[in-house]
């Protein structure tokens, strides 16, 4: 089995363990190949840390480092304490055993709690894969950094931290209809010691990262340049440095599909470079329009799907829920299921691109809520 086949097998294994998270898993695979960092935005309890942990368990011989940052987190908790034995000899050397400087995959939860004491060291580690403390400097073996938060930063200093994560993806609760599958997958994951999981070594991933740099981007370069201009004109900041790094994501999409040449469909990854939640819909609209008519053959699976909700399908769901609510003899549990599903549909409606369609569906949802409140 080739290294790229091994990586795809690992990603498939992680998807099977986390129902409804295919998009996030695929983007983590892109980040690994591109050697770029990923940021997950979402509420607690959406399996962010478990997902990264499961991925790291398939990296044979690679250590995982996971930490929840608070405002009081000290550098020692992330990078390791000073070596007492060396300190007695007058040397300031960090004992990094089991800490971030030795990890292949790093997950930093609530990243924007980072304080000034660790901010500069974190920025250098994320951007340059270098750990520096006083006169001490060492290269980091990290294949990728993943961070998470339930909010976006408002402070400018923390904005620089977000900028170190090229891939940004929302991690929400799954569709309520998938909850039975989520429970079953979670039960299996909790109770299983998986000795047959597919594995890939850090060395194989690094070889793939090097191979990624050899992907031919010439077929899509003009389209990519035009897209960057379009995004800048729309108000989405794409610096020259960022545009250069985005090429790594495009190349990774091609390589993970087994190609040495990029296609227009590989530009799907550019939907995940937003700075604000308001930009999510704008980016998806621009990129999806660009992908229209792109050949489906050899395209990445995520390039074939349209992330925007279908207005007609949402309206059908609302009418279905209306019919279910009107049914006689609903139990308390059945009523709660309908309410949960309606909340989910209401959230999805915010991302309908056509304003008139969105307004109409919202009015129907509000009407159904009124009916529910009147009968409760």
pLDDT at 19: 84
pLDDT, position 221: 96
Q: Please, how many CA atoms are within 13 Å of residue 80, restricted to the half-sphere of its CB?
A: 20
pLDDT score of 90: 61
Token pair for residue 58?
Answer: 């398939």
Model confidence pTM above 0.85: no
In this predicted structure, what is the pLDDT of residue 201? 94
pLDDT of residue 343: 82
For 102-157, what is each residue's pLDDT tens digit?
A: 999 999 999 999 888 888 889 999 999 998 877 788 899 999 999 999 999 888 77
Stretches where the chain sits below pLDDT 50 are none
Q: Mind listing the pLDDT tens digit for each residue in 48-68?
A: 888 999 999 999 887 889 999
Position 89 scores a pLDDT of 64
CA distance 326 to 364: 15
Q: What is the model's pLDDT at position 87?
A: 63
């Amino acid at each position: 089995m080739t290294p790229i086949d091994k990586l795809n097998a690992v990603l498939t294994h992680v998807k099977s363990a986390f129902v409804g998270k295919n998009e996030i898993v695929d983007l983590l695979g892109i980040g690994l190949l591109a050697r770029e960092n990923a940021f997950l935005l979402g509420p607690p309890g959406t399996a962010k840390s478990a997902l990264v942990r499961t991925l790291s368990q398939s990296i044979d011989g690679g250590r995982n480092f996971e930490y929840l940052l608070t405002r009081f987190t000290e550098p020692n908790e992330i990078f390791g304490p000073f070596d007492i034995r060396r300190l007695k000899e007058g040397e300031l050397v960090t004992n990094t055993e089991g800490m971030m400087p030795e990890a292949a995959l790093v997950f930093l939860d609530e990243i924007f709690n980072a304080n000034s004491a660790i901010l500069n060291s974190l920025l250098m580690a994320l951007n340059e894969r270098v750990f520096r403390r006083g006169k001490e400097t060492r290269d980091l073996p990290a294949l990728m950094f993943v961070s998470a938060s339930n909010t976006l930063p408002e402070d400018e200093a923390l904005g620089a931290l977000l900028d170190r994560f090229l891939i940004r993806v929302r991690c929400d609760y799954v569709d309520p209809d998938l909850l039975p599958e989520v429970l079953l997958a979670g039960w299996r994951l909790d109770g299983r010691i998986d000795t047959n999981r597919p594995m890939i070594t850090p060395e194989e991933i690094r070889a793939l990262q090097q191979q990624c740099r050899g992907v031919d981007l010439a077929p899509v370069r003009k389209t990519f340049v035009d897209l960057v201009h379009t995004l800048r004109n729309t108000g989405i900041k794409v610096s020259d440095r960022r545009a250069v790094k985005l090429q790594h994501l495009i190349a990774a999409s091609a390589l993970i599909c087994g190609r040495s040449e990029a296609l227009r469909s590989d530009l799907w990854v550019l939907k995940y470079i937003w700075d604000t939640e308001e930009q999510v819909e704008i980016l998806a609209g621009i990129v999806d329009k660009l992908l229209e008519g792109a050949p489906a053959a050899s395209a990445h699976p995520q390039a074939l799907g349209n992330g925007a909700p279908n207005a007609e399908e949402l309206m059908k769901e609302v009418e279905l829920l209306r019919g279910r609510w009107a049914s006689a003899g609903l139990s308390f549990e059945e009523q709660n299921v309908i309410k949960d599903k309606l909340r989910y549909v209401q959230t999805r409606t915010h991302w309908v691109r056509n304003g008139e369609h969105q307004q109409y569906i919202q009015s129907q949802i509000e009407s159904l809520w009124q009916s529910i409140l009147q009968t409760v």
